[in-house]
């Protein structure tokens, strides 16, 4: 099985695919409640517990992770935010190795979207285009909508984790061909 992760300190999405690329499970872990998760370490501890549940329930053979951002974008993340995301990504990556004894492979979001056949149109938000693509092309992917007609927030993270897992599946197919 393939585990795809979209790691974030607010919501982490995960997808599990079989080796044929079929969706087995999609979900997310929400850390936005400051009363339950006050520190980065409390969030990491929760992820470790969830990864252990996945390990005990699924025969994961490959892990693919979207790497943390490495550069600034105008109006986006500060240096402190990027450092925190990188640290958190490293902690979760280590948990994956420690629990599964599998070295995670990293696929940047742009590369993952390209491997899945998603072209981002100029001026449009990538997350919304990914969501539309999955809703149109992936029968195993569905979302719940807010009263304002938007997908509930965790579905963006789940969509990103699915794209990472699907891109990982494509990488495995390419390795078998060569």
Determine the structural domain holding residue 155 and report its residue range.
2-177
Contact 55, 41 (CB under 8 A): no
- The CATH number of the domain where 85 resides is what? 3.30.420.10
pLDDT by residue (tens digit) across 92-133? 999 999 999 999 999 998 899 999 988 888 888 888 888 888
Query: Does the global pTM surpass 0.75?
Result: yes
Number of domain units in the chain: 1
Q: Mutual orientation of helices 154-177 and 126-137 as an angle, nearest 10°?
A: 70
pLDDT by residue (tens digit) across 5-38? 999 888 999 999 999 999 999 999 998 887 777 8
> Three-state DSSP class for 69?
coil
Tokens (6 digits) for 36? 């339950």
């Amino acid at each position: 099985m393939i585990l795809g992760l979209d790691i974030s300190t607010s919501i982490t999405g995960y997808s599990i695919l079989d080796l044929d690329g079929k969706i087995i499970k999609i979900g997310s872990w929400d850390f936005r409640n400051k009363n339950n998760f006050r520190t980065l370490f409390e969030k990491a501890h929760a992820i470790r517990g969830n990864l252990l549940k996945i390990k005990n329930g699924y025969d994961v053979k490959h892990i693919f992770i979207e790497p943390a951002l490495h550069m600034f974008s105008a109006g986006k993340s500060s240096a402190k935010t990027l450092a925190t995301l990188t640290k958190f990504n490293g902690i979760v990556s280590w948990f994956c190795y420690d629990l599964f004894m599998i070295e995670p492979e990293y696929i940047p979001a742009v590369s993952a979207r390209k491997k899945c056949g998603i072209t981002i149109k100029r001026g449009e938000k990538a997350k919304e285009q990914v969501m539309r693509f999955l809703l149109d092309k992936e029968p195993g992917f569905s979302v719940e909508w807010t009263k304002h007609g938007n997908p509930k927030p965790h579905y963006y993270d789940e969509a990103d984790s699915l794209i990472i897992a699907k891109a990982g599946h494509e990488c495995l197919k390419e390795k078998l061909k060569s």
